[in-house]
Amino acid sequence: MSIAEKLPSILIANRGEIACRVIRTARRLGLRTIAVHSDADAEALFVQMADEAYRIGPAPARESYLDAAKILAVAKEAGAACIHPGYGFLSENADFAEACAQAGIVFVGPPASAIRAMGLKDAAKALVEKAGVPVVPGYHGAEQSVDFLAKEAGRIGYPVLIKAVAGGGGKGMKKVERPEDFADALTSAQREGQSAFGDGRVLVEKYVLSPRHVEIQVFGDSHGNVVHLFERDCSLQRRHQKVIEEAPAPGMTEEVRAAMGKAATEAARAVGYVGAGTVEFIADGRDGLRADRFYFMEMNTRLQVEHPVTEAITGLDLVELQLKVAAGEPLGLSQSDVTATGHAVEARLYAEDPEKGFLPSTGKLWALQFPEGQGIRIDTGVEAGDTVTPFYDPMIAKVIAHGATRDEALDRLGAALGETIVAGPRTNLAFLKALTEAKGFREGPFDTGFIERNITALGAEPQPLDAAAVAAAALQLEEEREVAVVMQAAERADGEARSPWLVADAFSLMPRPALGLPLLVDGERVEARIEWHEDGARVSLPGHEIGEGEHEIALAQAERGTWLALHRGRQTSVALFDPFSVDLDAAAGSGGVVKAPMHGKLIALFVSAGDVVVKGQRLAIVEAMKMEHVLTAPRDGTVNEIGAEPGAQVAEGAKVVVLGE
C-alpha cells in the first residue's frame, strides 16, 4: 500500500512557511490536506494552499495554535488520518502526541515517551550521559532558588549559560559574564521560558570557549532502524538564534563525523526514537573540530527549520520520510545508502531591523519578490499584500542555495539575497548579504560569537541616510505631485478645452525653476532640491552626497503617499513632509519620551511617577514574539508620566515612560 492509502488525509497543526512546506509534499503524495488557522491567518497562503481549512481561534497562539483540544476536535471533524505538527507550537508536546494516539490519529513524529525523555534539557543530558554521550559540565538539577543557582554558577566558573529546561530557538537562554549580572539574567530566562514553553525552570552550564554549533540529523523507524543524514553547522547565531545554517559543516573530518554520528544515533536509540530528530552538539572550536571536544546540548524531537540544507545535499525529502515512517513503513535506508553531494546554505530572512537592535518589524508587505535560478530554493509562507503581525515568529522566508562547493553555494546565496525585494516591514536582508561576503565567515575559522564580534562591520547599527534612495523616491513623489496638479487644474477648467500649458511633459518654453521639496525620511525632516536639465531632473540633498548605484534602487508604493526605496537590501521610507502630522513629543526635542519599539505586551515596569533615574537604567520590559525587549532611560531625569501598566498591550510607538528634567 502507498503512503496515501495508509494515511489518506493530513492535518497540519502549524502555520506559515512550514505549513506550506508540508502541504507541498503531502499533495505530491496524494494526501488530502487540512489546515487550521487563527483569525490573523484567515487569508494566509497556507490556508489558500490546503484542500480544507478550519478556524481554531483568535490571533494569540495560546488561544489557537497551542490549543490542543481545538486542533484535535477539528481533526476528528475533518476525518484526518494523521497530524503533522511542523516545528514550534505543539511539535514537542508529549501530551499532544499522546492525545493524538488516544484519538486514533497518527502523530507524525516520535512517540510521546521519546518527546518526554528529550523534552527537558536536564533529564535529556542525564539520559544520554548514561549512553556514553559527552555532555557540557553544569548543574541540571531540580533546585531553582536564585541563591543556589548563583552558587552553582560560581562553582562552574564564569562565563555561564542559563537555559530554560524546555527551551529552544534561543528563548529562555542567557549568557552571563559576571556574578553581579546573574540574578537579573536568571529572572529574564525564567520569565521567557514560562511565556514560551509554560515552564520557567532552568539549568546552568559552562560556556564553551570558541563554540561551534554542529547538529546531526537523525531518522528512526518503528522497525529498529536508526541512521543519520550528516551534519549541519549552525554557528552563525545572534543571541543564540540561528541566522545562517549550512551542510556539511566546514572543516568536518570523517573521524569527527563518525564520532558525532555515532553519539547522535546512540542518543536516539536510547529513547526508542522514531521519525525525524536532530541531536545538537556544542564543539570547542579553538583547534578545529575534534572528536574529543564536542558535547551534547539537546535533542529536538521534530523537523528543524534548517532541514532544507540536508535535503539539498542528500536529495531526500525529509517530510516524505516522516510520512513514510508514520505510516509504519521501514526507512528503506542503511547508513551506507546515505550520500552527500555538494554544499548547501540557508539564510533566515526575518522582518526585523538590524539597525535598531534587530527589533521585530511588523506591517503590510507592499512588495515581495524572490529570484529563481539554478541551485536556489525559497521556502515562504507569505506573499505580497500579506501582513507580518506581532503575534508569531517574524520569518518572511528561508533562502537556500546549493552548489558544488561551499564558495559556489555562498556566491549563489549572496546573489539571490541581492535580487530579493521586500517592501514594508524592515528586514535583515542587507545584514544577511553582508554575512555571505564576510571574509571571516568565508575563510574561517568562525564560531557562535562571530556575529557579535563583527556587528559593526556587518552593518547592524544605525547607518547614514541613503541619499541615492531618497533621491529616487523624491523624483517619484514630484512626478506624482505634478500629475495631481494637472488633474486638479483640468477639473477646475469645468469642461473647457484643456490648455497646452497644463500638459506634464518634457516640453516647456521657459526653463523650469529649481524646486525645494520638504521630505519626511524614516521619520526625520530632510530638504531635497530638484533641478531640471536637458537630460532630465537631478536631486540634491544639502549635506549629503549622492553616490552611484541609482539603477539598483527599487521603489514600492505604500499607503498615504509614501514610497519605499529599496537599495542594497536596506529600505528607506520617503514621503512629502506634512507639518500637520508632526509628532509633537518628538518635536519637543527633550529626548525623554520612551516608546514601545514594537507592538507587544508590557510585562514589567520598574519605575513610578516621581522616581529619579539615570541614563541606561532599566525602565520597563516589552514582550513581543516570545522575546523580551528592555527599555532603558535615554538620559538622566525624573519620571513625569507612566503611559501604560504591566499586562497591557502597547502599540508600536506608544508612550511607556515620559522623563522630565
Q: Which residue has the cell 499533495?
A: 27
Alpha-carbon distance of 269 to 261, in angstroms, equals: 12
CB neighbour list of residue 594: distance below 8 Å, 6 or more residues apart: 619, 620, 631, 632, 633, 634, 655, 656, 657, 658, 659
512: DSSP letter: P
Q: Which residue type is seen at 648?
A: A
CA 523 to chain centre: 25
The three-state secondary structure class of 464 is coil
Query: Which value, to the nearest 10 degrees, does the dihedral of the CA atoms of residues 257, 262, 264, 270 take?
Result: 180
Residue 178 annotated as catalytic: no
Q: Residue 206: CA atoms inside 13 Å, Cβ hemisphere, count?
A: 15
| Residue 261 grid cell | 554520528
CB neighbour list of residue 361: distance below 8 Å, 6 or more residues apart: 351, 352, 353, 388, 394, 425, 426, 427, 598
From the candidates 191, 302, 348, 570, which is the catalytic residue?
A: 302
Alpha-carbon distance of 624 to 647, in angstroms, equals: 12
> Nearest 5 degrees, angle CA 444-CA 450-CA 455?
130
From 242, 189, 188, select the one nearest 212 (Cα to Cα): 242
Alpha-carbon distance of 423 to 511, in angstroms, equals: 36
Residue 119 to residues 71, 111, 261, 526, 536, Cα–Cα distance (Å): 21, 12, 20, 53, 64
* Cis peptide bond N-terminal to 425, omega within 30: no
* Cis peptide bond N-terminal to 248, omega within 30: yes
Alpha-carbon distance of 478 to 536, in angstroms, equals: 13
Structural contact between residues 296 and 267, judged by C-beta atoms closer than 8 angstroms: yes
From 9, 623, 111, 16, select the one nearest 305 (Cα to Cα): 16
Query: Which value, to the nearest 10 degrees, does the dihedral of the CA atoms of residues 176, 181, 184, 187 take?
Result: 40
Alpha-carbon distance of 558 to 423, in angstroms, equals: 8
Q: Is the dihedral of CA 181, 184, 190, 194 positive or negative?
A: negative
Which residues participate in catalysis according to the annotation? 302
